[in-house]
Amino acid sequence: MPLILHGLQPLHWAAAGAALAALTLGLLFVGNRRLGISTGFEDVCSLVLRQTYFRRDSLLASRRWRMPFVVGLVLGGFLSAAAGGGWAPTWALGMFDQAVGFGPTGKLAWMFAGGLFIGFGTRLAGGCTSGHGIFGMSNLELPSLVTTVSFMAGGIVTTQLVYRVIVN
Amino acid sequence: MSFFYLLLGTAFGFVLSRSGAADYNYIQGMFLFEEFQLYGIIGSAVALTAPGIWLIRRHGRTLEGRPVEVETKPLNRGNVAGGLLFGVGWSMAGMCPGPIFVNIGEGKISALAALAGALIGAGAFGTLYTRLQRAFRLPPIAVGTGQG
């Protein structure tokens, strides 16, 4: 199946997994940091919010590496699009367009709602696919296994409900 | 050092972009059990990262010779509840946190709305932390739920 992005062929899963593993290990071996991206939301929040939670030392200390890393994620996506056929803003969402067919306003509302679940859920769980799924599971941490099973379950139930029940 | 993390993030983002991990169709394909791609990516990443972490921790020193410090995450009711909520959001948006940033870079406009939601969701969590603490048995506020 081609990617939504310019209809490109995706990397082989093993190549992608090996690359993500190498980068995760590089972050630990060189930077002495455990991979984790969802705390990046708190980093951004801490720039404007003044509550105790966003003033804790551990958060302010990690901002120094995570903010540039997150900016890099945006840059990586930009370079991927630019090198793969040119960068251009797009509303394309693949099967969402065919099956659900919301216009721009509906898409923004749907994505915003999804984002609320992501932001609140990842912080309540203490991590996301990167911090729990890749790093925590690799480091054999029980909370990470529990969280990974939980978010996979939440995702499976939701997608099955949307695509096999509601729009079917 | 900031440049090193910027570079690492850029490479990470490029791989997410080109592998399907930041692709709405591949995320739904994973949750529909129709596409192996994402299971393969996460599975192989864990299979290779696990022995790598073990070796680095056994070595005990970073490249610069500092002691390796891996702060572990706490176990509490938030893992299940937050995980379930995050799963709903991952399915709805077709992106987890990393790919939200990657999709913005790619030019996918709706990812901006997902980021706005995620920031407000995280902001709400931090604001309500002391009220959620007892119900979910969360650690003291100075510790937080763990970096991830």
pLDDT tens profile B12-42: 999 999 999 999 999 999 999 999 999 999 9
Nearest CA in chain A to B33: A156
- Is any Cβ of chain A less than 8 angstroms from the Cβ of B139? no
Cα–Cα distances (Å) from B137 to A27, A38, A111, A123, B129, in that order, read 31, 20, 30, 14, 11
Task: Give the ranges where B60-143 is alpha helix by DSSP (H).
Answer: 77-93, 97-106, 110-127, 129-136
Q: What is the Cα–Cα distance from B46 to B24, expressed in whole angstroms?
A: 22
Q: What percent of chain B has pLDDT over 70?
A: 99
Tokens 């709405």: give the residue. B24
Q: What is the Cα–Cα distance from B113 to B97, expressed in whole angstroms?
A: 13
Contacting residues of B for A98, CB less than 8 Å apart = none
| C-beta of residue A151 within 8 angstroms of C-beta of residue B83 | yes
The closest of B148, B51, B94, B82 to A158, measured between CA atoms, is B94
B90/A154 Cβ within 8 A: yes
User: Does an H or E element contain A119, and which?
Assistant: helix A104-125
Min Cα–Cα distance to chain A from B27, Å: 9
Q: What is the Cα–Cα distance from B32 to A158, expressed in whole angstroms?
A: 10
What mean pLDDT do residues A26-43 have?
96
- Is any Cβ of chain A less than 8 angstroms from the Cβ of B122? yes
pTM, to two decimals: 0.97
Cα–Cα distances (Å) from A41 to A65, B99, B118, in that order, read 13, 13, 7
A88/B118 Cβ within 8 A: no
Cα angle A118, A121, A125 (rounded to 5 degrees) comes to 130
Tokens 């251009």: give the residue. A88
Per residue in A109-163, pLDDT (tens digit) is 999 999 999 999 999 999 999 999 999 999 999 999 999 999 999 999 999 999 9
pLDDT at res. B144: 86
Contacting residues of A for B39, CB less than 8 Å apart = 13
Q: Tell me what ipTM this predicted complex has.
A: 0.97
A44/B4 Cβ within 8 A: no
Say which of A8, A72, A95 has its CB closest to residue B6: A72
| C-beta of residue A120 within 8 angstroms of C-beta of residue B84 | no
The closest of A41, A146, A49, A107 to B97, measured between CA atoms, is A41
The closest of A152, A148, A139, A143 to A27, measured between CA atoms, is A139
pLDDT at res. B1: 82
How many helices (DSSP H) and strands (DSSP E) are in chain B?
A: 7, 0
Cα angle B107, A16, A158 (rounded to 5 degrees) comes to 65
Token pair for residue A40?
Answer: 């990046």
Contacting residues of B for A39, CB less than 8 Å apart = 147-148
